[in-house]
Amino acid sequence: MGKILLVDDEKNFCAVLRQILTIKGHDVSVAGTVADAMEEIEKGDLDLVVSDIRMQPLSGLFLLQELQSNKPELPVIMMTAYASVDTALEALKMGAYDYLTKPFKVEEFIEVIDRALVGNKEMVSASEMDSIVKENCAFGCIICLSPNIKESCRMIELVAPTDTSVLLQGQAGTGRTLFAKAIHTNSSRKDKPCVVLSCSDLDSDDAVATTAFTGTASDPEDLKMIGTGVLGAEDGTLILEDVESLSMTIQNLLLDVLCKKKIDAGADKGVIDVNVRFLVTSSTCLKTATLDGKFLEELYRRISLISINICAMAERRDDIIPLIWFFLNDLLEEGQPVPGIAADVRSALQNYAWPGNVAELRGVVKYLHAHAVDGDIVMESLPPEILSTVPDSGGDDSSDSQESSKAQKLKAYLVKKGVDLAHPEEAVVAEQS
């Protein structure tokens, strides 16, 4: 938990924020003016300042400027009900950690606070990370601090109770099957079978692949190799991974099963009714595949009545450190302490591109755990492919890199707020309702 200073001349609003933060376990002090805030800052070792911008006689921007000159290591979050592009740019250019527009949601406020506190500490305690992971773990397995993943989890909550087929699209390694399993475990079929079939395996041989849906393999080993298929998922859920790799033969067969809800189970059983929910994943845009003639349009229509996008790791950077913590805990034996992660390492991990998404991150966590130094994860613990992306600590190249990073942060912020970057001089960031 952190020591936080709230600076705002609206006493009632400040009291509400103080109560929220205190419930979360933070040590909170309050100042009604910039002058009072400076006195509080001189008294003790603060972890974070949250300040309103429009105050009299001195503004929050003045306080930010003073802190950047005298305590640049202290993160500052700015708040205001008058959010224009100019004030957002000015605050962020001056070094503000983030920017909130009044009124804001409590969840959004807490997320920004957590990120600022975690990012500012050299080492984050196990209790702090445990708390963040626990509060932002959906369905017991999905870390969701980032807005993109929160929205995906919200969709799962909505569709899980239904029997509708769901299409989960996203890059390879984003965890599409994990999200599909979350739908199953939160559905009325949760106590029934959940069978996962890799369509890329089925595509190699149409004759063998067909047995996945008909159950008529002459050799039981063939059926065992490719999974139990539709019959094995009776009354439960069948997850078809990478459905775009199915051949046209299997696509037609799958479409027939979806349309008729019947299947030929062979000479012994004949045609039987099928009660299976289909969840399918794809790493490509199936709509484009239908236009290119590579995927059946009718099949696409039936499996995409509900579509959920699972974003890439680069679009959920708030989840990176909590995910690493989550995976580290899986590697540890009972009672074994979780390694601390140094601030510069956290920065390197959050700025890395993660082309392999969560799957790559999980592999990196194993490397970090194996290369911890005296029980902590430091720069020397990073794998070469990530270490090579960290800019040097000095020189012009480092300065250019920092300026580029700041420019990217400003651009991302304005896009998130709905600003037309082609005409920024005309844009005003709308207040949140």
The domain locations on the chain are 3-120, 147-309, 318-387
Same-fold call for 147-309 versus 318-387? no
- Pair of tokens at residue 232: 């094995």
Among residues 282, 287, 230, which one has the least CA distance to residue 253? 230
Number of Cβ within a 10 Å radius of residue 188: 11
> Which residue did the predictor score with more confidence, 349 or 204?
349
Predicted local distance difference test score (pLDDT) of residue 221: 39
Mean pLDDT score of the chain = 81
Assigned token pair, 343 = 């601030």
Q: Are 407 and 93 a contacting pair, CB within 8 Å?
A: no
pLDDT at 19: 93
With residues binned 3-state (H G I as helix, E B as strand, rest as coil), the percentages for the chain, rounded to 5, are 50, 15, 35
What's the rounded Cα separation, in Å, for the pair 220 and 108? 54
Identify the residue with better confidence: 197 or 45.
Answer: 197
**Can you tell me the distance from the alpha carbon of 423 to that of 162, in angstroms, rounded to the nearest whole number?**
44
Over 70: is that where the pLDDT of 414 sits? no
Q: 3-120 has which fold?
A: Rossmann fold (3.40.50)
For residue 142, the surrounding DSSP H or E stretch is strand 142-143
Contact predicate 277/187, CB 8 Å: yes
pLDDT mean over 280-286: 95
* pLDDT confidence of residue 223: 34
- pLDDT (average), residues 338-356: 86
CATH class of 147-309: alpha beta
**Close Cβ partners of 323 (under 8 Å, ≥ 6 residues apart):** 143, 358, 361
The pLDDT score that the predictor gives to residue 249 is 83
From the list 341, 323, 350, the residue with the least C-alpha distance to 381 is: 341
270: left (phi over 0), alpha (psi -120 to 50) or beta: left
**More confident: 72 or 424:** 72
Residue bearing the bigger pLDDT, 422 or 67:
67
Q: Point out which residues pair with 377 in neighbouring strands.
A: 341
d(CA 213, CA 231): 7
User: Which pair of structure tokens corresponds to residue 67?
Assistant: 């802190």
For residue 266, pLDDT over 70 is answered with: no
Q: How confident is the model at residue 84 (pLDDT cuts 50, 70, 90)?
A: low
Question: pLDDT value at position 413?
Answer: 52
- Say which CATH class 318-387 falls into: mainly alpha
